Each structure stands twice: as structure tokens, then as C-alpha cells.
A = this chain, B = another copy of it.
Amino acid sequence: MSFSITRVSHVEIRVTNLDRAWEFYVGLLGLVETERDGGRIYLRGLEERQHHSIVLKQAESPGVAHFSYRVSDPEDLDRLTEFFKAKKLPVVRLPAGSEKGQGEAIRVQDPLGFPVEFYHEMDEAERMLQQFHLHRGVSPMRLDHVNCQTPDVQKGYDYYVGELGFWVSEYTETDDGKLWAVWMHRKQNVHDIALMTGTGPRLHHFAVWVQDMVGVIRACDILAGAGMTDNIERGPGRHGLSNAFFVYVRDPDGNRMEIYTSDYMIPDPDWKPIRWSINDKRRQTFWGHVAPRSWFDEASLVESITDGRLLTPIPAELKDRPDFVT
């Protein structure tokens, strides 16, 4: 069995103050607002033609409501429903329009506990790529990937690679050969989703792609100019793994977003995955910089798809950070 997943498509973020979140994501960073209704604001990047890739949802606490994969074959919604039901996982069927601008969809609490959606159709929105006079902030191009913490990365690998048909670009092992983290993709770059060993299910971050390194630096300058230095958590720096030039920022609610560029394309499905050791300093930051502890300790809780409550995450048995992070 295999599915026609094309990419991770959007993520719904919980924020406690919609206006404040709008000021951060739109006013400072330059995402584009497609529309808003009572409790949500729908955003997209400059390169995107779809109704939304980031949704801000008014909530009582931070966190992630769900993230979503697009399938190119609409019949996969039925096939995925059967697939998850066979696994005894909770599946919800959403008629078209349940999520604004989106066609029929299903949501599942996946084998790792994450609230994941699959859909085929979404309304088209104007592409802003060449409306250069309207670009603002860091000129964010598109949502690129999500990064998740889970206590059992091997289980996640088996599910994503063995069952959903994802490919591996790069991965990280412990000194005794255990899979510590894995970068997996359906679209042709380094990842749609990465899994890292840690307390989970928690969404560690979602990432938007910008066109050049100056865009990443601009993110720091803009946040600092606006007096939000505490929202710059890590970087700018270059990852050894993926070659990304990155910065991690925290929104006013503490949800973490990566702004990055300069990873690479993987057009061949038989790409040979690149192996890194968890204790190779250049893996994390190619220049040798050490990530702060908060980067391992803190992440966004995720919702139950059935009642919307935030799930209590479970710590990993495997150590959740390199030895040199103390």
C-alpha cells in the first residue's frame, strides 16, 4: 500500500492573542493574510498559491492544533481512513469547508500521537511572488517542514518510511547505533517532517523557507529592532545536517518557528541517506556553536483531534540531547 502524499501543506498554531500574533507573523515577518474569521487568521507565503499554510487559532494556551499533508489523489482520503481504522486509531472525517478554503479532509491521531490531517483540495490564492512592492519583513516564501519530538524515533521511521512511503535524506545515530533523529520527505528537498528523540508528542518547530541568507539575518534585526531580542532563541547559524542557514524564533506565545534557507534538492528517490553522529558538534551547528538547553527542553503541546485538549507528552528513554549540551 502506498499513498500520494505530495508534501506537508499547513500547520494550525494555537495563540492566546490573535492581534499580537498577527503583528508577529504578518506585521514583523511578512507572511501574507488571506482572510480571517472569528477565531482564526489564515496566512500564506509569497510563493504559495494556496489559501493558507499557517493558521493562527485563538486558544487558551499555546500549542499546535494540527498539521496537514496534501494528497494528489482524492481517493486516498478513503484509503487513509481505512488504513488508520485498521490500526484502531481515532479518525475524523471533515466535510469540505470545515476548514476554511479547504475541501474534504480527514484527521487522525497518528501512531506517534500527533494530530495530522490529510486533504486534497484547497482554494487558490493569488501568488505574491512577483508583487515585490508588497513584500515585507523577511519575505517568507513557503512553509517547508515540521519537526517533531517523539520518545520513539524508530517507531516513527517505521511508520513514515515503511507505511506512508516517505524517503530519508539524512539521519542521526547514537554512539551505539540507535536511530536518534531522522529527516524524511515526499517533496524533493531535505524534509517534510523530521523526528527527533525527546518528550513527545510535541511539535518542536515548523519552518518557513526564505530565498537567501540575508533574509535570515533580517529576521534577527527586525525582532531586535522591535525590542523582541528574547524571541531570538538560536542562531543565526548553519546546520551541518541539511546545510540549512537558520534562525529559530519564538512567537509571542512561545511557539517555535525556524526561518531558513540553503538546503538542497533531492530529485532521485534512491538518494543515499547521509549519516551523522549525535555527538558530532558540526551536525547541529556546522560552525561548532552549541544549542541552548531551551531548544531541547521546550516544544509545543499538541491537541487531541477528538476533544481539542492538549495531550500530556511522555519523556524519551533515550537521552534527548548530545553529550556536549549541559
Interface residues of A, Cβ cutoff 8 Å to B: 6-7, 28, 47, 49, 70, 72, 124, 129-134, 136, 141-142, 186-189, 211-214, 217-218, 220-226, 229-230, 232, 236, 238, 240, 243, 245, 261-262, 264-265, 267-270, 272, 281-282, 286-289
Q: Are B268 and A132 interface neighbours, CB within 8 A?
A: no
Residues of B within 8 A of A186 (CB): 267
- In the bound complex, what is the Cα–Cα distance between A10 and B230 (angstroms)? 39
- In the bound complex, what is the Cα–Cα distance between A226 and B132 (angstroms)? 8
Contact of A268 with B72 at beta-carbon distance under 8 Å, contacts A214-B214, A287-B224 already known: yes
Q: Are B132 and A222 interface neighbours, CB within 8 A?
A: yes
Contact pick for A268, options B6, B240, B261, CB 8 Å:
B6
Task: Name the residue of chain B whose CB is nearest to the CB of A220.
Answer: B287
Q: Are A129 and B264 interface neighbours, CB within 8 A?
A: yes
Q: Are A267 and B7 interface neighbours, CB within 8 A?
A: yes
Q: In the complex, how many angstroms separate the beta carbon of A136 from the nearest chain B beta carbon?
A: 8
Q: In the complex, how many angstroms separate the beta carbon of A119 from the nearest chain B beta carbon?
A: 12
Q: Are A270 and B72 interface neighbours, CB within 8 A?
A: yes
29 interchain pairs, CB-CB under 8 A: A7-B267, A47-B265, A49-B272, A129-B243, A130-B221, A130-B224, A130-B286, A132-B218, A132-B226, A133-B226, A134-B225, A142-B265, A187-B188, A211-B212, A211-B262, A213-B214, A213-B217, A214-B214, A217-B238, A217-B245, A220-B238, A221-B286, A224-B238, A224-B282, A224-B287, A229-B286, A229-B288, A230-B288, A232-B287
- In the bound complex, what is the Cα–Cα distance between A272 and B123 (angstroms)? 12
Contact of A130 with B220 at beta-carbon distance under 8 Å, contacts A72-B269, A187-B267, A267-B188 already known: no
Residues of B within 8 A of A230 (CB): 288
Contact pick for A130, options B124, B236, B243, CB 8 Å:
B243
Residues of B within 8 A of A272 (CB): 49, 124
Q: In the complex, how many angstroms separate the beta carbon of A131 from the nearest chain B beta carbon?
A: 5
Residues of B within 8 A of A270 (CB): 72
- In the bound complex, what is the Cα–Cα distance between A18 and B16 (angstroms)? 43
- Could you say which of A142, A186, A286 has the most chain B C-beta atoms within 10 Å of its C-beta? A286
- In the bound complex, what is the Cα–Cα distance between A130 and B213 (angstroms)? 16
Q: In the complex, how many angstroms separate the beta carbon of A211 from the nearest chain B beta carbon?
A: 6
Q: Are A130 and B225 interface neighbours, CB within 8 A?
A: yes
